[in-house]
Structure 1
Amino acid sequence: MSEGTRDAASAQHRRLLDTIGMRIVEGELAPGARLLTADVAAELGASRSAMREVVRVLETMGMVEVRRRAGVEVLPADRWSAYAPEVLRWQLDGSGRLRALHELSQLRSAIEPLAARLAAAQADPPQRAALVKAVLGMVEHGDRADEPEYLQHDVDFHAAVLRGSGNPYLAGLADVVAALLHGRTAHALMPKRADETALRLHQEVASAITARDPEAAAAAMAAIVAEADDAVEAMASSASSDH
């Protein structure tokens, strides 16, 4: 298979996966419904083998189940692999994105203050340096908070806190937090200019972790998560009132 053919096959796979995944997330394919693979393949101009591969991937995510003599059944949301990157992206791209963002903020409020507390005791010098570098980058690009440079520094900051905790299970949630941050920017739920309070709180977290002050680190991180959730709700309300 040539490189061009492989690229085309990969693009078709992504298109099929995204199309069917979004239909499940949006409820067009409701829990208990049968996924008629032959019909979908014909509709989307896909081969049967490509459909089988997509079904296999969806099954690993807990979104469908292949039943003998019954076909492919769509499963309810509580069966999905909630932290799978594709599932997160579909949730944040869907009509229920504000609910998803709020629910992810609830998760953050449980894990990130704890991670900051642990990082104040556990983070090594390179991890603390990465944290400070990320904060400085956020400050530098704070007047363009809705652009990729600021977003990357914000992602790096939260990843540094989670990884600095010394707990691999907390560190493993860095991609989940990154998905939330990317989703906010992608859907214009970030202000053009960073909120001064938010920047100050990020600086306080970095300072507290560097000073090995667990209580201050946890308190500042809890305030960051609360402020971010409030800001998303405010931006969403403003956007809806403009329509």
Structure 2
Amino acid sequence: MHSQVRDGVYVRYADNKIHFIRVVPPSPEEIKTITIKIAKKIYRYLESRMLAMESDSLLEKEPLLSKCHRASIRYLRALGEQAGKPLLRLISPEHIKEENDDPTMMGFNLHASIAIEATDRAGLERTLRYMGRPPLSSERLKRAPDGQNLLLTLKSPWRNGTTTILLTPFELIERLVALFPYPRKNLIRYHVFFAPNAELREEIVLGLVSHQDHDSKKLCRPNFAKLMARVFDIDVLFCPDVTPRCN
């Protein structure tokens, strides 16, 4: 999970204007404390979900999908004769890490060492594109030498030395199915001042613009064609059979 947060807080002063106060980066000890808090909250949530498993709507309505989800987080096979057995992994001994300074706390690892300056718009876009990248890269997926199975190379080796996962085509489909989000569930969520219904969202996002100045919104929202060109690198106004370019 990735989260883009401000490195400070917003405060409204006596002049009725909102000011941004930057704070110092968290220390390693603070990172550990935050990681433990996150882990405990997630554990409590999962425990409550386990207790309510019998009334889980997904388990009742889509038992096959629910089985794929449970197997996915455990790196197990979900279906077939090998259901419940772990996926085959290729381990390279030279990548096994045995350092004692493991930042993982209760199975969770919090990475918070990247900061982007407010004026670095290119760096911000690059980071957001990384956060929104697809979960599977076709460049790291190839056929195994036997011609039947697939090899998925990990971007970074795991601590136990795992560099590649061996999958059958059916097992790959199982993993992909588990990645589909629930209906009506957003994959990108905004929180605190950037939440959709936050009282101060408009002032902060639009640069301290008053709530009455609705025309300013048009300056911040590019049209559909520009969005398609920016995100997918597709010029929807270009047609090879039509000259000149559509406008």
TM-score, normalised via structure 1 length: 0.21
The structure richer in helix per residue is 1
* Structure of higher CA gyration radius: 2
The structure richer in strand per residue is 2
Q: Which has the higher contact order (CA 8 A, sep 6+)?
A: 1
TM-score, normalised via structure 2 length: 0.21
